[in-house]
Amino acid sequence: MSFIRTLSGDIAPDTLGFTYSHEHLVCRPAYWVARGEDDLLLDDPAKTQADVEAFRDLGGRAIVDATAIDYGRDVPAVAQIAKNTGVTILLTAGFNKSFLWDAVMPGGQNRRYDDWIAEASMDELIKFVVSEVEDGMEGTTHRAGQVKFGTGYNVISELEEKTLRAVAQAHHATKAPIHSHTEAGTMALEQIKLLRQEGVDPHNLSVGHMDRNPDPWMHARVADTGAYLSFDGMGKIKYYTEQVRIDCILALVKRGHREQILVSGDTARKSYYEHYGRGLGLRYIIESWVPRFIEQAGEAGYDGTALIQDFFINNPRRCFSFKQ
């Protein structure tokens, strides 16, 4: 029996509903605190909750919080938001890209992330990820619904490869789905090559930030492996217009990959949130992007409503399942 592991327990995949597949809800990364980067601190759970409520009131049902241990996440605060709003939330085990995050790591006071990864044995890293999925995260009983690793811009460092291999083994041990961070959408195929060396079937992987590298040839190669492609920068016009992202998505649809596309907003700044002040907010995709996509998909000869059902309901349901 497959299931999806959420903050409200393990649920039947069919009950997941309309899902944003890569967001950030509450986090205070020590690295950004130390540098006074206030925009990168999602530090007021009440404001986050107001955005989640807007999403829910528009028909949203589930959110995947993609924040890993190095990014100052707040598991109890996110759990409280799930409880208060009734929105299903999935948490993320594992790692981010390698970086000099000065965060508190397991087994040390303010131990640097890179030092921790370098010093830990492969076995210790695997055990850590497995425990976040099976026992709970950061001293709580809240368990993760996916396992994550990340890689850098046009490079996979030695430590990133170590975390990738640990996450692959934790996936084998737990059956948790895998999510990856790509920096600016690079190194997706290289990630998949390494995962395959570890015996991972790419159907169990979603690759993040694919729209930061709006290259239909590369997207097609990734899709050919069976992996999910996460287009998670909706609303970020500073990177690309929505048209660029929609064209990439429709190119994949045309090639027969409609069942491998995920869509989300990756809201990791105050300025992306409505209730922290200035942003489009969690309401944006469901309220504005979805109707625009349906219209443009229709002009291209597709049933846009059916595609939206795939991207936000049918695909997340499959992607985030633990397949026993």
Residues that bind Zn ion (CB under 5 A): 66, 266
Judged by beta carbon, residue 66 or residue 156, the one nearer Zn ion is 66
Closer CB to Zn ion, residue 13 or residue 208?
208
Q: How far apart are CA 224 and CA 243, in angstroms?
A: 23
As beta bridge partners, residue 64 has: 90
Q: Which is nearer to Zn ion, 214 or 233 (CB)?
A: 233
Q: Select the residue whose beta carbon is closest to Zn ion and give its number.
A: 266
Distance, CA of 8 to CA of 235 (rounded, Å) = 29
Q: For residue 173, count CB atoms less than 10 angstroms from its CB and return exposed for 0-12, middle for 13-18, buried for 19 or more.
A: middle
Query: What is the smallest separation between the CB atom of 15 and Zn ion, expressed in angstroms?
Result: 25
Nearer to Zn ion, 40 or 166 (CB): 40
Q: Which of 212, 211, 171 is nearest to 323 (CA)?
A: 171
**Least gap, CB of 106 to Zn ion (angstroms):** 22
Max CA-CA distance within the chain? 57
Q: Contact 155/122 with Cβ under 8 angstroms?
A: no
Q: What are the structure tokens assigned to 178, written together?
A: 């895998």
Question: Minimum distance from CB of 276 to Zn ion (Å)?
Answer: 16
Least separation in angstroms between residue 1's CB and Zn ion is 30
How near is the Cβ of 71 to Zn ion at its closest, in Å? 8
Nearer to Zn ion, 160 or 266 (CB): 266
Exposed, middle or buried, 160 (CB in 10 Å: 0-12/13-18/19+)? buried
Q: How far is the CB of 66 from Zn ion (least distance, A)?
A: 5
d(CA 31, CA 306): 42
Q: Cα separation of 257 and 249, whole Å?
A: 9
Using the minimum distance from each CB to Zn ion, give the nearer residue, 101 or 120: 101
